[in-house]
Amino acid sequence: MAAKEIGIGLIGMGTVGTGVVKILRERGDTIAARTGLRPVLRQVAVRNLGQMREVALPPEMMTADPQAVIARPDVDIVVELMGGYEPARTLVLKAIESGKHVVTANKAIIALYGQEIFAAAREKGVLVYFEASVGGAIPILAALRESFVANEIRAIFGIVNGTTNYILTRMTEDGMDFGEALAEAVRGGYAEADPTLDLEGIDAAHKLAILASCAFGIPVDMEDVYVEGISEVCPQDISYAREFGYVIKLLAIAKEAGGSIELRVHPTMLSRHHPLASVRETYNAIYVEGDAIGKAMFLGRGAGRMPTASAVVSDIVEAILRSREADFQAERSLYWNRKTIQPMSEVACKFYLRFPIVDQPGVIGKIATVLGSHGISITSVRASLVEMTTNAGHVEMLTHRAGEAAVQQALQEINALPVMRDKSMYLRIEE
């Protein structure tokens, strides 16, 4: 019996869109044999019709009008791969309103407008799938929502941004400073044309918001995610970390803490024995702790044409299969939990602190006194000072677990001391 055709409308044919077209062409028979259903590309909307493309499609399949793709009666699933906030959000909502299932790789719209998009989908009785929005080829959202459904998830630690992981790898392994490593990432094609969202941790924060919704069943507003990027990490911090058994990684952390959820993205000193410590170059990895599974880690390509297209096609097939189940319901509620997000000021962890100081008698005492007055206890101190050179010294410290608010208050006071040459640097530590 011939497989039933399912009409696909594609919006956006950049890197990932081209991969999706290739897979649908080359794997159509395999998918039909496996599922009894054949996804068939009906039309593709692109910004620039005149652009040369790696995969040629008949001109009648191309349009510059995404609304026309959505409106086609023979399109069952709209696949949004244009990226960015608008018009992507409006087009996804339009597709839902038109009764189409949606597959998207767009982490920005799911992170920012997920609540609006899922509410519209439930209302209309359609599905929205977004596996490719986090971790490219890594099937982490399905794992969290389905495979690990029997678990209370305790924590997620993710390396979810390839650009920053590449830069930190070059700094760690080749002794480059941040600027040199960024230039190397640009040369190698590992950085976006404008890498600001990556470097500032915002791309990782979008992905963390999505991971946390899937793992903990809570809606996440982006303002509730604490974000710091990697641009202030220095070779000195990397070498200190190495000496004390740590590596520096940009981690996206979602952790259950006393009934609420910590959500934070920041460069982290991570024990070199942690499985994420060995994730190098542009690889992504997500480490999950659950009460039944214990510890699990997923590793894979977080970006790129075919890895991301693989996740998109998997979502297409999943949406087709689920929508045909006899007891099909629209998007199951993503937000089943009432837990709240913990304010960053209430988070506690161990810290690494670096103070660029003028070398004077009593300077370490002055810093330690301020820390002590805020209840911050030091576990290790190192002073790297050059004799009689007043303008080149650093004092580095590790602390016991300390509250974020106390540390920030103490650093503000220390930064105002006349012995400081520059503001202090801090990194949070995870074992």
Q: Interface with ligand HSE by CB under 6 A: which residues?
A: 161-163, 192, 198, 203, 302-303
At 384, the amino acid letter reads S
At 218, the amino acid letter reads I
User: Residue 10 and residue 13: Cα distance in Å, rounded?
Assistant: 8
**Residue 254: CB minimum distance to ligand HSE, A:** 18
Residue 153 or 205: the one with the smaller Cβ distance to ligand HSE is 205
249 as an active site residue: the answer is no
User: Which of 281, 222, 224 is closest to 249 using CA atoms?
Assistant: 281
User: Residue 93 and residue 108: Cα distance in Å, rounded?
Assistant: 14
User: Residue 287 and residue 298: Cα distance in Å, rounded?
Assistant: 6
User: Which of 273, 276, 274 is closest to 250 using CA atoms?
Assistant: 276
Alpha helices per DSSP H over 87-161: 88-97, 107-124, 140-142
**Residue 198: CB minimum distance to ligand HSE, A:** 5
User: Which of 231, 217, 133, 227 is closest to 179 using CA atoms?
Assistant: 231
**Residue 163: CB minimum distance to ligand HSE, A:** 4
At 301, the amino acid letter reads R
Length of the chain in terms of residues written: 431
Q: Is the dihedral of CA 188, 190, 196, 198 positive or negative?
A: negative
Residue 39 or 135: the one with the smaller Cβ distance to ligand HSE is 135
**Residue 108: CB minimum distance to ligand HSE, A:** 10
DSSP state of 403: E
φ and ψ at 38, to 5 degrees?
A: -120, 110
**Residue 234: CB minimum distance to ligand HSE, A:** 22
Is residue 122 a contact partner of residue 330, using CB atoms and an 8 Å limit? yes
Q: Round the CA-based radius of gyration of the chain to a whole number and report it.
A: 24
Residue 189 or 418: the one with the smaller Cβ distance to ligand HSE is 189
**Residue 279: CB minimum distance to ligand HSE, A:** 12
Residue 16 or 126: the one with the smaller Cβ distance to ligand HSE is 16
Is residue 331 a contact partner of residue 128, using CB atoms and an 8 Å limit? yes
Residues 6+ apart with CB under 8 A from 363: 357, 395, 419
Residue 203 or 315: the one with the smaller Cβ distance to ligand HSE is 203
**Residue 192: CB minimum distance to ligand HSE, A:** 5
Q: Which of 100, 207, 249, 255 is catalytic?
A: 207
User: Residue 269 and residue 251: Cα distance in Å, rounded?
Assistant: 9
Q: Which residues are catalytic?
A: 207
